[in-house]
Amino acid sequence: MGFIDDELQDVSQLCHNVIDGSRLVSCVPSMVRVEITKTPFKQLVVCIQFQKDYPASPLFVELKSKTLSAKLLDGLTEVCEKECKRLLNKAQILPILKFIRNFIEENPLICCYEEISILKKLLGDKDEFKLKQKNSSINLTLHQDLYHFKTKLEVPDNYPTNCVIYSDVDTNFPPLFNRYLVGQGRELARQCVEPPLRKQQNPFTPSPSLNTVVSFLIKSVKAFPQEPCQHCKVKCLPTDPKEIVIDENADFHAERLYCGHLFHLKCLVTYMKTPPFHGGKKCPSCGQRVYHDKWGLSDRLAEARWAHQEARMRELAEVEDFFN
């Protein structure tokens, strides 16, 4: 038996025991084909061929996957080729399979490689997006003017079947905005992995949540400090976060409508008390119906109160004219 035959025999006997999650599909001189699976979304196929003067020359390695990024596979293939060159004149198949398996184990964020590449392009110069492969997490820090939002995003092992998880949130945005950023982000993540209550015609399939959540955070954090009050047109948040109005009943407390636009509380109350009332009050910016927890009056009652107030003002004006 020659060198290649001996190595193929070793691979056939040892592959399953030595390489966790492996399945030997073929093991013949023309090609060795091995499937390596960590999770359903961390799965690839290794196709190996011998060159004529093997083992004096490196193996030819090709990686395929239905779930991992093609760009990631290209990079890993290059690394594998370099690793094979270090093993010249030695058996290369099992060592390179171990190398690939260890790469998958030590880099749990490979399942969201494409999302990470997209998100990095959305970040500003002062923003941070640090990958923590050992913990399968991402430390995200976003800045806009003097405002910041920091969080740790944990990527579960069975991602994207399970969604990313928020933790360690730190921000100098007002509590109302912090609750929205965290709550809405978690809700968006949940919607990616849980089917809607109303049954759909097509079966539900979980989708990646990292890009959805981080894109939302980036968009919101960048927009809030610049957002004007829809009534007075002055920026809702002060330039200096130290001047934020914390009292949620204060006139200049920043309020967020369900449509996403902002009002000062005083401006919101004034706007809601001012006609027209027909068809409900609409957001001046987007035209959506205004809904807010601090405004519970119906359109009819608000209009009746406004009419009563106007009548009262006319009566007072008539009395004043009489005495003048």
The enclosing H or E element of 218 equals helix 210-223
DSSP state of 59: P
Amino acid at 323: F
Quickly list DSSP for 119-149. Answer: HHTT--TT-EEEEETTTTEEEEEEEETTEEE
Residue 167 in this model has a pLDDT that exceeds 90: no
The distance of Cα 280 from the centroid of its chain, to the nearest Å, equals 35
User: Exposed, middle or buried, 311 (CB in 10 Å: 0-12/13-18/19+)?
Assistant: exposed
Between helices 175-193 and 210-223, what is the axis angle to 10°? 160
pLDDT 10s digits, 83-125: 999 999 999 999 999 999 999 999 999 999 999 999 999 999 9
Query: Residue 131's pLDDT is what?
Result: 96
Query: Residue 2's pLDDT is what?
Result: 84
What are the DSSP E strand ranges found in the chain? Answer: 22-28, 31-39, 42-49, 60-64, 128-132, 137-144, 147-154, 165-171, 254-256, 262-264
**What pTM, to 2 d.p., does this model score?**
0.83
Q: What is the arithmetic mean of pLDDT over 295-302? A: 52
Longest dimension (CA), the chain: 122
CB 87 within 8 A of CB 104: no
Facing residues of 167 across strands?
152
Looking at the chain, which residues constitute the CATH 3.10.110.10 domain(s)?
A: 1-104, 110-196+203-223
**pLDDT band (50, 70, 90) for residue 322:** very low
Q: Percentage of the chain surpassing pLDDT 90?
A: 73
Query: Residue 308's pLDDT is what?
Result: 47
Tell me the C-alpha distance between 151 and 139, whole Å: 6
Q: What is the arithmetic mean of pLDDT over 50-58? A: 93
CA distances to 302, 305, 319 from 314, rounded to whole Å, are: 18, 14, 9
Out of 11-25, 61-75, 246-260, least confident range: 246-260
**pLDDT band (50, 70, 90) for residue 203:** confident
Written as six digits, the tokens of 158 are 């069975």
Looking at the chain, which residues constitute the CATH 3.30.40.10 domain(s)?
A: 226-323
Question: What's the mean per-residue pLDDT of the chain?
Answer: 88
Amino acid at 150: K
Task: Name the fold adopted by 226-323.
Answer: Herpes Virus-1 (3.30.40)
Tell me the C-alpha distance between 183 and 165, whole Å: 12
CB 131 within 8 A of CB 116: yes
110-196+203-223 CATH choice from 3.90.1280.10, 3.10.110.10, 3.10.290.10, 3.40.50.720 = 3.10.110.10
Its CATH class, for the domain covering 1-104, is alpha beta
pLDDT 10s digits, 130-154: 999 999 999 999 999 999 999 999 9
